[in-house]
Structure 1
Amino acid sequence: MSLHAAAASSVDASGTSARVDTLYRPGGVVDVRATLRPLQRGSGDPAFRVVGADTWLALRTPSGPASVLVRRAGSSSIAVSAWGSGAPWAVEHAPDLLGRGDDWSSLDVSGHPFLADARHRQPGLRLLRTNTVVAMLVPAIMEQKVTSRQAWRAWRYLLRRFGTPAPGPAPSDMFVPPDAATWSRIPSWEWHRAGIEPGRSATVMRAMRVAPALERTLTLGRGGPVVSERLQSVPGIGKWTAAETAQRAHGDPDAPSVGDFHVPALVGWALTGGPVDDDGMLELLEPWRGHRERVVRLIGGSGFRKPAFGPRITIQDHRFH
């Protein structure tokens, strides 16, 4: 796999970088839409937009805001264009975003017909790595304890209220999420208007105070127990939130979302034909330890749906799980 060595940039009249382009050749098939899908927080996400064959991202990078356009460029390449002060960083890390370093070669699902078929039909699925911890952690905290619809409504409100308009020619009404300093300055009444109760907003505030230390967990590789422990060192962040963050920020292939309302039942129905709890899910996934999140993603992307009449599962408080 290779990243085109000479990323081209254009300069606007003020002398600032207006656009950075690159061509990524992954050396194999990559399903761009499926790989980037975990970044989307609902159909109205102001930081994620699909327009035809184009995928637009509004990213908060360590160098500032960036709008990123990702599209196929022939059968073996992916074109990435970016605008804003964070554009060079976004282009440099675009291969990680598209699954570079995510090695599925040792995952053997041949002994399970459902998984073997799911893998066969999803050869381009990759686990992304954003290399941005805070940007992945804050929405995960928002999704604790509530339905996705409630969390996504709060996400939309706060991004439009405190985010940065996406630079360049990004689709209208796209916003780059706030940085750590801005998240930490959001007043309590705005969290209330967004539908975020004091417990979750306080967790965000505690995390923002140690944001640099959380970002340094990226140096530890693609997740793992140490990363999970360091994320959970912030009161209010438990196993579920740490897993949801590491899946996206670090590209962790072995961090299934323990404590999730839907995932254990989905895994249980797909693999055994019946629902299971967290312990049952982990038991089912144990043969693929090291790849457990990959297996969950295969199931999720397969189109399989658990029966609507399945037993109800009690919503768990992710702040403590």
Structure 2
Amino acid sequence: MTSATIEVHLVEDDLLSALRSDVLTGLTSSPKVLPPKWFYDARGSELFDQITRLPEYYPTRTESALLHRSAGEIAALAKPDILVELGSGSAEKTRTLLTALDSLRMFVPQDFSPAALEEAATAVKSEYPHLVVHGVVSDFTETLHNLPGGGSRMIAFLGGTIGNFAPDERAEFLSSIRAVLQPGEQLVLGAGLVIDESVLVPAYDDAAGVTAEFNRNVLRVINSRLGGNFDPDAFRHVARWDAQNNWIEMRLEATKAMTVRIEDLDLDVQFAAGEQMRTEISAKFTTDGLRSELATAGFETTHIWTDDLDRFALVLATAR
């Protein structure tokens, strides 16, 4: 069995440079903000895995069940040669598509973590030895042009991650996906739907406090990678529903006035007692809104599948 290949477009120095830039920009902004991708060191990934198994956190299990239910229909409507998954992580859910899409000859998992990508690519190659598995280490927001071509492609962007983009960022990202696809090539998009606040908020503020630890992990990443002296326990996890923007905001709230030193940036950051710093948005959608945003980006919506409670959607869209 030929092993999976890994193509690297993002090395450790690139990640460190991006972290420095994001932290410097975010902690000197008003209000302060940090991008959610920096939650994910080894500890952050472990915590998120725990989150996906919590009773309050419905998105992962809902999307997984929806994939199992709709994979056959997706396969009947689309017969790609190449499946590209952006932000693949373990590629666990993607196996449902890999099994259903019998036309596939290549799987291209993409992630910014080399270790996670190599593990996922090796596992997929072992389970699907007939597939060429070509991993790409990159930041999917910047290196879509590096994705392999040479056949009819389908790009999968699952997990509701599209909700982590603000509307203007989302429009730019969807347009950039369209720009690398040929007419007739496809996108499978997983997106959370707008539902009752009483269900949404606990999904991001669980009773066991796992999400709170996950949120505070971004501070530990800054401490370990940039010489910060954040006291994570001095920050309270906050999750709130913004009905005007249709998104959940996760924030960290300073429980006291403090000064934080970031040695690598030669930066001292002042926090007032009660000051909040946004660490993530998770936008939720309507099916009509998804169709509209995809149309603006140059896609025609082929089909939308939703679960029985209308909490999550899978969209198959075709590049015009």
TM-score, structure 1 normalization: 0.26
Greater relative CO, 1 or 2 (CA 8 Å, sep 6+) = 2
TM-score, structure 2 normalization: 0.26
